[in-house]
Structure formats: C-alpha cells, structure tokens
Amino acid sequence: MEERRPGLDPAVAQVRLAVRRGLEQLPDAAAVVVALSGGADSLALAAAVAFEAPKRGLRPLSVTVDHGLQAGSADAAASAAATAAALGLEARVVRVEVGSDGGPEAAARSARYTALRDAAREADAVAVLTGHTLDDQAETVLLGLARGAGATSLQGMPEAAELDGVTLLRPLLEVRRATTRAACVAQGLEPWDDPHNSDRRYARVRVRETVLPVLEAELGPGIAEALARTAAQLREDAEAFDEMIDETIEDIVEHAEAGISISVAALAANPAALRNRIIRHVVASEFHQSLTRTQTIEVARLVTDWSGQGPIDLPGCRARRVGGRIEFSAR
C-alpha cells in the first residue's frame, strides 16, 4: 500500500499509484503518449502521468484526437491540449477523418487508434496510455455477453496490448470512474463531458446509464467489480489455452498447397474447447479472419461427425476434409 503524504487526496493517490505501476513496465527515459480526450478519466490519467513520469525520466506527450463529429469539437480539443500543457506535458491535437466501416462507434475508434499509433511512431514513443477504467471494463464485458461472442469478448480489455508495434497500456483498469472524477475535482481540473457519452443511441451508453444501475439495484453493489474480476480470470484461462495451442500446433499443422492442414486424428484427440480454439487460431493466423462459433462448430464436424460432407466456405478461406487431414485453403 502506498504511503500517502498528509493532505494528498485519496482519489489522486489511487490514480497516481495505478499509473506508477503501469509506467514501471516501460524502459526508463522513453517517450510515452497519453491519449487525452479531455474527459475525467483521461484528464486524471494525464495529471498522474505528469506527476509520475519525471521520476522515471520518461518524456510524456499528450495527444488529443479531434474526430470532428460535433460542433465545438475543435475548441474542446484545444482546451484539453491547453490543460495538458499547464500540467507540464507536451501537447498535440490531431484532426482525423472518420469513415463509416462498422458503424460510427467502431469507425471513430479505428480512426482514433490509428492517429494515436501514428503520433507514437512520430515521437518514437514506446507506449500509448489510455484512461479506460474498471467501469469501462464492466461495460465491455456486458456488451460481449449480449453479443454472445464467447470467452474472447468476455475477457474484456487487457491492461497491456500491442498496437501495430507500439505498446497500448490501460493503467486505470482497476480504478473506478467516480475516482477519476474525484481526482480531477481535488486537483482543480475541469473535465469536458462529451455529449456522445450520454447519447442513448449507443449501446454502451444504455449499459452505463440503465443496465449496470439496474443490476446494482437488484443484485446488490459490486457488480462492476465482479465483471472486471471475471474478465481477468478469463484472460488467465485464455493465456493458458494459448500456450497449449502453440505447443499442439507445432505437431499437428502442416503447410499444404494454397493453405494449411491439420491432422484429423490429433484434433479428435483433443477436448472440444481446445479443438475449437485450434481451428479459430489457424484461420486467424493464416487468413487473418475470425470465425463465429457456428462456423467453428461446422469445421469441427469434419472431425467429429464426418459423413462425406463437402467443403465449408469460411471468411477468407475454405475448409475441407482430405483423407486424414482438414485442409484450409484461400478462396
């Protein structure tokens, strides 16, 4: 437990401690990018980075992405950058064009992360830090549950991930949103409240404003923390499965003409959970496509319920049984 100095606000102390632990994963004297929207979460993050980074000789740069999706977005971005500069950070604003692929939320997220990655590369930064909180994690898990997307979605967001050669860090995943807002108040920082964060057309907003409060009211407090714990446990399981898959694939996968093949006997010898993960992993690594559960089960039937059925068309590839092997070839 961090020893707090007299007079240091508990919320400020909690955010700083979380950021300090995140920064410990990075090499000393490196450059880091702080994704700063101007909201309470990213503002509390920026203030903590400004305080903690100099202790490690780190060079922090705040990057505010202006999506240009609403009136006044340029002013809000400029205000966020000015606040970052007042905190002692080098500050930059990047304007992006948001496409339409995958809907407005997905398109804006894609444009934002591309801009953050490019800014990190330009600054020769080793990491991008975002202000995702425990509440964001809980919302992500619930949305994944609603989509029926399986354990991968229920794992939520990892604390550390890879963003096209740059480390993506989320040091506040164990910090509540109320704590980041309290930290801003304690430090005299005025967050910008994005109108999109209260727009009920977005599923995440409905989860935040309706679903989670109803769960808390009906089932008792601690739902968000429980969802975050579930995500962490599932990530641990997934890491163990990934290690098993890597070891197994070396023995059962061979390159085939126009694709790759897997031993039927070896797949059949594995439990269903591992067999299905191997199938998904092969398609993802070889053809850069994701399979739904239904598609995965259909491929698995070529192993477990073979009755002479023909090839199965999948995203980016085709699966068929040839003798004692399942072949995946580009379509």
CATH number at residue 280: 3.30.465.60
Pair 286, 182 in one domain: no
- How many Cβ atoms are within 10 Å of 47's Cβ, its own excluded? 27
Amino acid at 52: E
Separation between Cα atoms, residue 159 and residue 170, nearest integer Å: 5
Looking at the fold, whether 79 and 214 belong to one and the same domain comes out as yes
172: nearest Cα among 22, 10, 2: 22
Claim to verify: residue 130 and residue 180 sit in the same structural domain: yes
Q: Please answer whether residues 316 and 260 qualify as being in contact, where contact means their C-beta atoms are separated by less than 8 angstroms.
A: no
pLDDT at 2: 45
**Per-residue pLDDT at 96:** 87
Residue 275, domain extent: 257-330
Count the residues in the chain.
Answer: 331
Q: At what angle do helices 134-147 and 212-219 cross, to 10 degrees?
A: 90
Distance from C-alpha of 44 to C-alpha of 37, rounded to nearest angstrom: 11
pTM of the full structure: 0.82
Single-letter code of the amino acid located at 68: G
The pLDDT of residue 1: 38
Which residue type sits at 174?
E
Residues 115 and 28 in one domain: yes
Residue 181: helix, strand or coil by DSSP? Answer: helix
pLDDT mean values, one per 10 residues, the chain (331 residues): 65 98 95 96 98 96 90 90 97 88 80 94 97 96 81 84 93 97 97 86 91 93 94 87 79 82 92 90 89 93 93 95 93 81
Q: Angle, to 10 degrees, between the axis of helix 177-186 and the axis of helix 10-23?
A: 110
User: Would you state the pLDDT for residue 31?
Assistant: 97
Asked if residue 181 is part of any domain, the answer here is: yes
**Distance, CA of 257 to chain centre:** 35
Q: What is the pLDDT of residue 249?
A: 82
Q: Are 261 and 216 found together in one domain? A: no
| CATH number of the domain where residue 210 is located | 3.40.50.620
Q: Are residues 220 and 262 located together in one domain of the fold?
A: no
228 residue type, one letter: A
Q: What is the pLDDT of residue 3?
A: 44
Residue 192, Ramachandran bin (φ over 0: left; ψ between -120 and 50: alpha; else beta): beta
Residue 287, in any domain of the structure: yes
* Residue 44: inside a domain: yes
> What is the SS3 assignment for 4?
coil
Give ∠ CA 79-85-86 in degrees, rounded to 5.
90
Q: Does residue 46 sit in the same domain as residue 154?
A: yes
Q: Identify the residue whose tokens are 């994701």.
A: 290
Contact 8, 92 (CB under 8 A): no
Per the domain annotation, does 171 fall within a domain? yes
Q: How many domains does the chain have?
A: 2
Residue type for position 58? L
Nearest partner of 111 among 97, 128, 126, 90, judged by Cα: 97
DSSP 203-268: HHHHIIIIIHHHHHHHH-S-HHHHHHHHHHHHHHHHHHHHHHHHHHHHHHEEEETTEEEEEHHHHH
Nearest to 66 by CA among 91, 41, 30, 31: 91
For the beta carbon of residue 181, count every other beta carbon within 10 angstroms: 19
Q: Is residue 285 part of a domain?
A: yes
Alpha carbons 266 and 251: distance in angstroms, whole number: 9
